[in-house]
Chain A
Amino acid sequence: MLQLKRIYKVFHEGTPDEKIALQNIHLTLRKGDFVTVIGSNGAGKSTLMNVISGVLFPDEGTIWIDGQDVTMMPEYIRSRYIGRVFQDPMAGTAPNMTIEENLAMAYTRNQKRTLRRGVTKKRRDEFRELLSTLHLGLENRLQAKVGLLSGGERQALSLLMATFTEPAILLLDEHTAALDPARAELITNLTKEIVERYRLTTLMITHHMQQAIDLGNRLIMMDKGQIILEVDENEKKRLTVEKLLAEFQRIRGEQLVSDRAVLS
């Protein structure tokens, strides 16, 4: 489904600010895999997402989606196959457009946009049905501008927009990090539900170790641009936060201060 081979990415190459963001990354996601990605700040998690989605192009290496080489495919073409939800709840929706208009834009993501009406009656019924699965009452506010929604509601809408066209890959970039605990839990549950419903192949970045352990069937840990730990399906069932931290210390031999802070 998604395959990365020997990916390298260096920022500011040849200057004193040179930073190796990704180093020899190999990663394969089979269909239906739900992989959580953890790692401290600057580990290269977001760069990995950006390379997969086409915001950045790798210096070396190849990326395949469904057997197709997409390494140099521009972002706007690639995003037909990739659904994304960003950390910032404001990033995934257009605030001055209505809920139904936002959904209509997501609806046409994997087809050619034409001069047909964006929101037809038939689509509106479909949108209403989709929104009712969020249990937020948004199905009664189709004509409300998205800017009027709360952060949690906007993120739920973003999640729906990223997924209902059943993209080949779903990328979640710390999409619950900017929400309060109650909203974050709501979005986490919705994520679980939606990924299961559409059986989406998912890659999720998170800072929250417990969330990384609870969700998905595989886990990878990144540090300094490398994947330093891969946990497969069977191991992951027995994984705890303590084991994960111990593992990290064993590999890196240093205290993981920032992630301890997150846990407490």
Chain B
Amino acid sequence: MTAMTGAVESGLIYAIVALGVYLSFRILDFPDLTVDGSFVTGAAVAATLIVNGDDPFMATCLALFVGFAAGCMTGLLHTAGKINPLLSGILMMIALYSINLRIMGRSNVPLLNQKTVFTTIQEWGTTCGLDSAAAKTWGILLSMTLLALLFKWFTDWFLQTEIGLAIRATGDNPRMIRSLSANTNLLIVFGLGLSNAMVAFSGALVAQYGGFADVGMGIGMIIIGLASVIIGEAVFGTKTIARATLAVIGGAIMYRIVVSLALRVQFLETGDVKLITACIVILALVVPQMARQQKEKKRKEEKRRNRAQVMAVAATGKGEADVAVKKDL
């Protein structure tokens, strides 16, 4: 049970990463690998500020802005520097690795016994009369649900605004939206900024949730985000934007549950998480394709069988007709 609530809690926190990845991958159609770096940047900024004794809420919000700047840089590399999207993201990711080390001053910043967003929420819970453990679980669960829904609501709202529509069109048909006087370069920069702001914000929360910021904590984050998006879309559908963003949050939670279930298997170790993630994404990408092929094959076979039947009937019919004709003669 505790493992499940843990999975749901972290699912809700990582849902914000997934929403960011949804913005870049799906809305802008830009495979942005900056995420691996900007996630840590958010964690590093928040952890460093918290250790310095700053307010954890302010520290978390600052991570949002730093992430925004990182995303904008990737956008500028692509638009102003005319570098291929994948490469711009990888370049920024590598650059951020060093920047993150600089921010933290070392490769790991522990947050034990520090005042974080979560300890503050827990304190509120106990003042409301809950015992410490319940305050922690329910406080985190409730506040993270609200936060994830807040980001979902923001994304839904933003993508319906005039600027949001233009960003969606930039991913859908850039030539068309340029002919409708939109500066696609600016929109890409802004969209990537927004995406990475969410990712960094989530990184800041993860650091406080896990009790440390580590320079390696972002490895594979893009794949985790993508896994959440793909699982969510496959299970919940993408009919409207509101539906798709809800799917992404659901996908993030499901991903965490699957991983925590997988880790219960005897011979799997904690270090295998990334391998499991890769396998989940591969399965999520390959299985629907195979299912579609199988379905198509079945359909064709059915068609062929039907035609064979029709031909057979026609042949016998003809035979009888011949008989009739002969009789007439």
Q: What residues make up the interface of A, taking CB atoms closer than 8 Å to B?
A: 53, 74-80, 82, 84, 86, 90-97, 101, 104-106, 108-110, 113-119, 161-162
Contact = CB atoms under 8 A, between A and B. Distances in A.
Nearest to A162: B179
Interface string B155-169: 000101111111011
Given A80-B181, A93-B173, A118-B164, 11 more contacts: A76-B184, A79-B178, A86-B175, A91-B175, A97-B168, A101-B168, A105-B165, A105-B180, A114-B162, A117-B162, A118-B161
Contacts of B173: 90-91, 93-95
Contacts of B161: 114-118
A76 B181 contact: yes
B147 interface: no
A113 B177 CA distance: 12
Give the one of B165, B169, B179 with max A CB within 10 A. Answer: B179
Contacts of A78: 181
Given A104-B165, A118-B162, A119-B160, A79 B172 contact: no
A113 B184 contact: no
B160 A76 contact: no
Interface string B124-145: 0000000000000000000000
Given A76-B181, A79-B179, A95 B172 contact: yes
A75 B162 contact: no
Contacts of B182: 76, 105, 113
A26 B177 CA distance: 29
A161 B169 CA distance: 14
Contacts of A115: 158, 161-163
Given A97-B165, A113-B162, A114-B163, A76 B183 contact: yes
6 contacts: A75-B179, A96-B168, A105-B165, A108-B162, A113-B182, A117-B162
Counting contact residues on chain B (CB < 8 A from A), the size range is 20 to 34
A53 B179 CA distance: 8
A181 B284 CA distance: 44
* A-B pairs with lowest CB-CB distance, top 3: A94-B172, A113-B162, A79-B181
A26 B181 CA distance: 26
Contacts of A114: 161-163
B176 interface: yes
B179 A113 contact: no
Nearest to A147: B172
A108 B162 CA distance: 8
Contacts of B169: 94, 97, 105
Nearest to B173: A94
Contact of A110 (B164, B176, B181): B181
Give the one of B164, B176, B178 with max A CB within 10 A. Answer: B176
Given A93-B176, A94-B169, A97-B172, A116 B181 contact: no
A94 B162 contact: no
Give the one of A79, A118, A162 with max B CB within 10 A. Answer: A118
Nearest to A75: B178
Contacts of B177: 94, 105
Given A117-B161, A119-B160, A109 B176 contact: no
B248 to A, nearest CB: 16
A161 B179 CA distance: 10
A160 B201 CA distance: 42
B183 A105 contact: no
Nearest to B170: A94
Give the one of B158, B165, B183 with max A CB within 10 A. Answer: B165
Contact of B178 (A76, A97, A104, A118): A76
A93 B180 CA distance: 10
A96 B182 CA distance: 18
Given A91-B173, A95-B173, A117-B160, A101 B165 contact: yes
A158 B223 CA distance: 37
Nearest to B163: A113
B179 A118 contact: no
A90 B172 CA distance: 11
Contacts of B168: 94, 96-97, 101
A109 B158 CA distance: 18
B240 to A, nearest CB: 9
Contacts of B180: 79, 105-106, 108-109, 161
A108 B163 CA distance: 10
Nearest to B161: A115
Given A93-B173, A94-B173, A105-B169, A118 B181 contact: no
Contacts of B163: 113-115
Interface in B176-229: 176-184
B79 to A, nearest CB: 12
A116 B162 contact: yes
A84 B173 CA distance: 14
Contacts of A94: 168-169, 172-173, 176-177
B179 to A, nearest CB: 5
A161 to B, nearest CB: 7
Contacts of A91: 173, 175-176
Contacts of A84: 179
Contacts of A119: 160
A117 B159 CA distance: 9
Given A97-B165, A97-B169, A92 B176 contact: yes
A77 B168 CA distance: 19
A79 B161 CA distance: 21
